[in-house]
Amino acid sequence: MYIDLSELKNKKHGRKELNLEICKEYFNDNGEIVKFLRPIKFNGSVRYVDGIFDLTGKAETEVLLACSRCNDSFSKSISIDIKEKLSDTINNDDAEIILIDIDKLNLYQIIENSLVLELPVKRLCSESCKGLCQQCGTNLNSSECKCNNEDIDPRLAKLKELFSNS
């Protein structure tokens, strides 16, 4: 998805609305393939002020993640605020400015970069996910196993007692 901003630059002070959908199948999150479950919806705009393109907007989509505890896949809705400064000239001291090709802004790449930062490191299908049995590998969310998982830390056992009384 490339966007041509050269027209905006010629106007000196201009604004371009960006309301679009980007269809992607998946992206690579540090070696892990993450699938998109629906197109990315982007609603925002670019403003050109004093040589800088100000990109703001909201990107929304849904991705398929693997649970860190039980390894089951689950869907997660994502909504990220995008706020970036872009420029087509390299002589900018500001490290936060992203260098772009003025006639070929890769909006998807910018969204993906934010998306990778937005995704949690620990991904749980639910807060109460029981995970896999350490001994036999059974998914404890859907079935029980016969392993003895009761020999837990005595300090935790004390806590457990406290909670079961309440």
**Interface with Zn ion (CB under 5 A):** 67, 69-70, 125, 129, 133, 135-136, 138, 145, 147
Tell me whether residue 122 or residue 155 sits nearer to Zn ion (CB atom).
122
Give the nearer residue to Zn ion in terms of CB position, either 98 or 145: 145
Phi, psi of 8 (to 5 degrees): -65, -40
Outline where 42-140 has alpha helix (H): 107-118
- Name the residue type at position 151: D
Identity of the residue, 70 or 111, whose beta carbon is nearer to Zn ion in the bound complex: 70
Q: Taking the complex as a whole, how short is the minimal distance between the CB of residue 127 and Zn ion, in angstroms?
A: 10
Secondary structure element (H or E) that encloses residue 64, with its range: strand 52-66
| Cα torsion through 1, 39, 118, 116, rounded to 10 | -50
CB of 34 to Zn ion, least distance (A): 16
Integer Cα distance of 2 and 134 in angstroms: 48
Tell the smallest beta-carbon distance from residue 55 to Zn ion (Å): 36
Rank residues 78 and 125 by Cβ distance to Zn ion and give the closer one.
125
Nearer to Zn ion, 56 or 149 (CB): 149
Name the residue among 104, 117, 106, 25 with its Cα closest to residue 78: 117
Least Å from the CB of residue 25 to Zn ion: 24
Contacts of 8 (CB under 8 A, 6+ apart): 14, 15, 16, 46, 48, 53
- Compute the least distance from the CB of residue 38 to Zn ion, in Å: 22
